[in-house]
């Protein structure tokens, strides 16, 4: 296997015509200017300090013309005072009336907008960073970046602010980022990594200050420039108190109205500027956004992402993937019963941070007793040690402790990563091993493994991997899509950019992609899926098309009920399927995505349609909807699965926004409606008003089955 992998990689590199040029543009250092005057955050950038500060303007195209100068002028300057870092941005534009800016809400979809992105590598380790994004309307997005872009926690919400202005010269932004939002080493003279990216959406032009090769992204902070000049003269400490209160009602026909009143608080304390301690009491796990319910037409569990704020904040610190749908830690196991009802959280503690070359995450949560579920302690510990410039080795321990019963998972992982392979290409390989121990099972010990190799570059993208989870592996605080399997998989994509086709940005050919699952007990096929893409492309104007041929197989050891009385008999099944996809450019006010997939399905046929459309009326209102149909014909009969979703996003300002989301499918026959309004009076403080409505559509007359009205206030105090 090793010889095969190395031989295949070497063969591929023979056909890679990429030029290994540098992505350093001088100057690659920017100096922050200390200010004592008050900086008014208004997007005007008219204080004298902004003119006195050092400006950088040497931006280079990554797209559409790699290495070419930017077509629009951009300048950046940095200021700081005792409490805050300020970043000023001048995005000049020769056609300001054509600026694309349609959103205002927090955590907006910035990929379809004109935007400006900045990343701060406060440890200056070339691995970790804080990402901040805004658009000309002043919408905000942020994320935590780890492992040089391998892990991105988009759910993190930091305390920071930005104001913008659009003028006849272009648009301008003024960021204010409190030092207390960031983690960094305790040194008087700070040296940080920093980089900037501007996207001019109508031109599909992307320009970066440093690291502008198409093989890399802004999130790969190993190619960032350097920020100097910051002197921390005072002691950066923070004691942050965040009390919350939730109040509301829940009504169901035939039941008394249930009143919901709950309060609690979090305390955040910076032990050092690089390590944060969190203490929580009566933790708030009220979800303000509904899951998208999906109809499961497979034999295996569906994965739903975490949506609860407490767990989202530090999720990247505990990431440990074993591939193949296997995770030793999955935070949705905490505080949620198997029927998805809420289990009260009594409290917990958490420590997140970095010291030297070691990144640490530790958390312990205690849940209350509910019905037959005893009070349970959940503890997770994750530590990673930097190795070399971009690699790491780590350990994880996850425990679920109940009276007289314990379930524990422990594992180690190794990652080798370089962004300078053969000049300026990326190469990643790694391994992970985990064992589980369950005190009351005859097969107490189980194990899971992972090996992988990736060559994720612009013109050639290749990966190969092997995963295994034996029948005894039991991560009760994790996620296990299937058990008792070995999986071998690989994918290869060629993405040339033909100069003789001026309207094409890139072609995409996929010679192969496959996943082969083997049953550990029998050694027989468990599942197989593969895809061959003979043709695909993306245009310079942003449209996408692809045509795929798929070959799949399933071996059923027992009869499988796929949908309402439709049973597929045990046996081995092979089928061939065909697929077309088309997407219009998302930077337009109206854009759409279309997919059709048809062909064999077990002993019958299946045709799947999916269509999604979005209409951005203006920066205050956006409407989107989607519809999918799975029409399946089997020897036992024919049936169709319909799923419908719709969403209206509303925004009065970047600090006051909301949404209406609805969904329905013909298996549950229930309409689920979610209305959410979010007001941010000051950064770090949030008020929510939420209405959830369930309507049963199974009978001749629709009837309400549950109505929940909820208000929640999270207030932030700094002591």
- The reported pLDDT for the residue numbered 341 is 76
Task: Please check whether residues 58 and 152 belong to one and the same domain.
Answer: yes
The domain boundary residue, chosen from 186, 203, 231? 231
pLDDT tens digits, one per residue of 342-397: 788 888 999 999 988 999 999 999 999 988 899 999 999 999 999 998 899 999 99
The domain boundary residue, chosen from 405, 420, 455? 455
Q: Tell me the pLDDT band of 482, cut-offs 50, 70 and 90.
A: confident
End-to-end CA gap in the chain: 58
Task: Please check whether residues 200 and 313 belong to one and the same domain.
Answer: no
Containing structural domain, residue 395 = 309-455
E strand residue ranges, 584-700: 590-601, 604-616, 621-634, 637-653, 656-665, 670-679, 686-696
E strand residue ranges, 54-188: 60-63, 74-80, 84-92, 115-121, 129-134, 140-146, 151-153, 161-167, 170-178
- The reported pLDDT for the residue numbered 303 is 59
Task: Please check whether residues 225 and 313 belong to one and the same domain.
Answer: no
Task: Please check whether residues 322 and 226 belong to one and the same domain.
Answer: no
Task: Please check whether residues 315 and 227 belong to one and the same domain.
Answer: no
C-alpha 182/C-alpha 238 separation (Å) is: 11
Q: Does a cis peptide bond (omega within 30 degrees of 0) precede residue 78? A: no
Task: Please check whether residues 326 and 216 belong to one and the same domain.
Answer: no
- The reported pLDDT for the residue numbered 15 is 45
Domain for residue 74, yes or no? yes
Domain for residue 626, yes or no? no
- The reported pLDDT for the residue numbered 644 is 96
- The reported pLDDT for the residue numbered 530 is 97
- The reported pLDDT for the residue numbered 297 is 54
- The reported pLDDT for the residue numbered 310 is 75
Q: For 145-149, 483-487, 651-655, which range has the lowest pLDDT when averaged over its residues?
A: 145-149
- The reported pLDDT for the residue numbered 155 is 81
Q: For 235-239, 268-272, 452-456, which range has the lowest pLDDT when averaged over its residues?
A: 235-239
Is residue 34 scored above 80 in pLDDT?
Answer: yes
Q: For 314-323, 484-493, 597-606, which range has the lowest pLDDT when averaged over its residues?
A: 314-323
- Closest CA relative to residue 162, chosen from 234, 214, 110: 110
CATH number at residue 44: 2.60.40.1190
Domain for residue 149, yes or no? yes
C-alpha 162/C-alpha 175 separation (Å) is: 4
Task: Please check whether residues 219 and 315 belong to one and the same domain.
Answer: no
C-alpha 198/C-alpha 133 separation (Å) is: 10
Of 422 and 56, the one with more pLDDT? 56
Q: What is the mean pLDDT of residues 173-177?
A: 97
Task: Please check whether residues 205 and 67 belong to one and the same domain.
Answer: yes
Is residue 337 scored above 60 in pLDDT?
Answer: yes
Task: Please check whether residues 314 and 202 belong to one and the same domain.
Answer: no
Is residue 41 scored above 60 in pLDDT?
Answer: yes
| Alpha-carbon Rg for the chain in angstroms | 26
Number of domains forming the structure of the chain: 2
- The reported pLDDT for the residue numbered 16 is 47
Is residue 517 scored above 70 in pLDDT?
Answer: yes
Q: Tell me the pLDDT band of 324, cut-offs 50, 70 and 90.
A: confident
Task: Please check whether residues 227 and 341 belong to one and the same domain.
Answer: no
Domain for residue 346, yes or no? yes
C-alpha 134/C-alpha 166 separation (Å) is: 13
Q: Measuring CA to CA, how many Å separate 234 from each of 72, 81, 178, 186, 187? A: 40, 11, 14, 11, 11
Q: What is the mean pLDDT of residues 634-650?
A: 91
Q: Confirm if 207 and 223 have CB atoms less than 8 A apart.
A: no
Q: What is the mean pLDDT of residues 674-697?
A: 92
pLDDT tens digits, one per residue of 228-263: 999 986 666 678 898 999 999 988 888 888 888 889
pLDDT tens digits, one per residue of 188-241: 899 999 999 999 999 999 999 999 999 989 999 999 999 999 998 666 667 889
- The reported pLDDT for the residue numbered 305 is 67
C-alpha 514/C-alpha 492 separation (Å) is: 10
- Closest CA relative to residue 425, chosen from 460, 464, 387: 460
Q: Tell me the pLDDT band of 661, cut-offs 50, 70 and 90.
A: very high
The domain boundary residue, chosen from 399, 431, 455? 455
Q: For all residues of the chain together, what is the average pLDDT?
A: 89
Domain for residue 417, yes or no? yes
Domain for residue 44, yes or no? yes
Is residue 307 scored above 80 in pLDDT?
Answer: no
Domain for residue 405, yes or no? yes
Q: What percent of the chain has pLDDT over 70?
A: 93
Q: Confirm if 224 and 210 have CB atoms less than 8 A apart.
A: yes
Domain for residue 180, yes or no? yes
Task: Please check whether residues 214 and 328 belong to one and the same domain.
Answer: no
- The reported pLDDT for the residue numbered 294 is 54
């Amino acid at each position: 296997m090793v010889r095969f992998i190395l031989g295949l990689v070497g063969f591929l590199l023979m056909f890679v015509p990429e030029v290994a040029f540098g992505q350093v543009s001088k100057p690659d250092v920017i100096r922050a200017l200390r200010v004592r005057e008050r900086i008014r955050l208004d997007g005007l950038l008219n204080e004298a300090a902004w003119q006195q500060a050092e400006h950088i303007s040497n931006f280079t195209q990554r797209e559409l013309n790699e290495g070419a100068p930017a077509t629009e002028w951009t300048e950046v300057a940095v200021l700081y005072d005792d409490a805050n870092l300020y970043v000023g941005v001048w995005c000049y534009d020769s056609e300001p009336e054509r600026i694309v800016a349609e959103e205002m809400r927090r955590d907006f979809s910035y990929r379809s907008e004109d935007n400006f992105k900045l990343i701060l590598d406060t440890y200056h380790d070339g691995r970790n960073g804080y990402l901040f994004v805004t658009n000309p309307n002043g919408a905000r997005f942020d994320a935590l970046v780890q492992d040089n872009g391998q892990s991105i926690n988009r759910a993190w919400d930091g305390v920071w602010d930005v104001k913008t202005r659009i003028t006849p010269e272009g648009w301008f932004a003024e960021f204010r980022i409190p030092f207390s939002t960031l983690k960094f080493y305790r040194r008087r003279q700070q040296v940080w990594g920093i980089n900037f990216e501007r996207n001019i959406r109508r031109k599909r032009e992307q320009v970066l200050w440093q690291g502008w090769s198409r093989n890399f992204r802004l999130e790969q902070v190993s190619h960032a420039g350097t920020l100097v000049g910051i002197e921390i003269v005072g002691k950066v400490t923070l004691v942050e108190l965040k009390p919350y209160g939730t109040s509301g009602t829940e009504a169901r026909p035939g039941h008394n109205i249930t009143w919901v009143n709950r309060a609690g608080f979090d305390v955040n304390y910076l032990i050092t500027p690089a390590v944060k301690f969190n203490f929580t009491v009566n933790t708030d796990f009220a979800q303000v956004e509904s899951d998208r319910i999906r109809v499961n037409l497979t034999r295996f569990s569906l994965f739903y992402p975490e949506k609860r704020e407490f767990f989202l904040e530090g999720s990247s610190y505990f990431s440990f993937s074993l591939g193949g749908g296997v995770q030793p830690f999955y935070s949705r196991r905490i505080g949620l019963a198997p029927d998805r009802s809420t289990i009260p959280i009594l409290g917990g503690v958490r420590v997140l941070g970095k010291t030297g070359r070691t990144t640490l995450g530790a958390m312990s949560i205690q849940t209350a007793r509910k019905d037959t579920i005893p009070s349970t302690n959940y503890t997770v510990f994750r530590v990673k040690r930097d190795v070399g410039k971009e690699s790491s080795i780590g350990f994880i321990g996850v425990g679920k402790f109940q009276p007289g019963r314990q379930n524990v998972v422990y594992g180690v992982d190794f990652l080798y990563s370089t962004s300078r392979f053969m000049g300026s290409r990326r190469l990643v390989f790694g391994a992970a091993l985990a064992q589980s121990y369950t005190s009351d099972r005859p097969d107490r010990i189980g194990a899971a493994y992972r090996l992988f190799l990736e060559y994720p570059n612009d013109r050639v993208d290749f990966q190969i991997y092997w995963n295994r989870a034996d029948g005894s592996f039991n991560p009760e605080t994790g996620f296990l899509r299937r058990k008792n399997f070995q999986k071998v998989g690989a994918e290869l994509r060629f993405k040339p950019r033909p100069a003789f086709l001026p309207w094409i940005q890139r072609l995409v050919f996929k010679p192969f992609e496959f996943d082969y699952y083997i049953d550990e007990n029998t050694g027989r096929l468990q599942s197989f899926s593969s895809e061959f893409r003979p043709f695909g492309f993306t245009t310079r104007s942003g449209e996408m098309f692809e045509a795929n041929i798929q070959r799949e197989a399933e071996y059923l050891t027992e009869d499988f009920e796929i949908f309402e009385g439709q049973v597929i008999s045990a046996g081995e099944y092979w089928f061939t399927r065909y697929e077309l996809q088309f997407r219009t450019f998302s930077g337009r006010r109206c854009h759409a995505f279309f997919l059709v997939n048809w062909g064999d399905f077990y002993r019958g046929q299946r045709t799947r349609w999916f269509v999604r459309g979005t209409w951005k009326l203006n920066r205050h209102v956006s409407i989107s909807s989607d519809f999918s149909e799975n029409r399946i014909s089997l020897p036992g009969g024919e049936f169709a699965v319909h799923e419908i979703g719709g969403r209206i996003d509303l925004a009065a300002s970047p600090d006051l926004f909301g949404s209406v989301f609805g969904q329905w499918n013909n298996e549950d026959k229930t309409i689920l409606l979610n209305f959410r309004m979010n007001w941010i009076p000051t950064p770090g403080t949030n008020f929510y008003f939420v209405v959830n409505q369930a309507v049963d559509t199974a009978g001749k007359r629709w009837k309400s089955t549950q109505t929940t009205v909820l208000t929640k206030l999270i207030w932030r105090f700094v002591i």
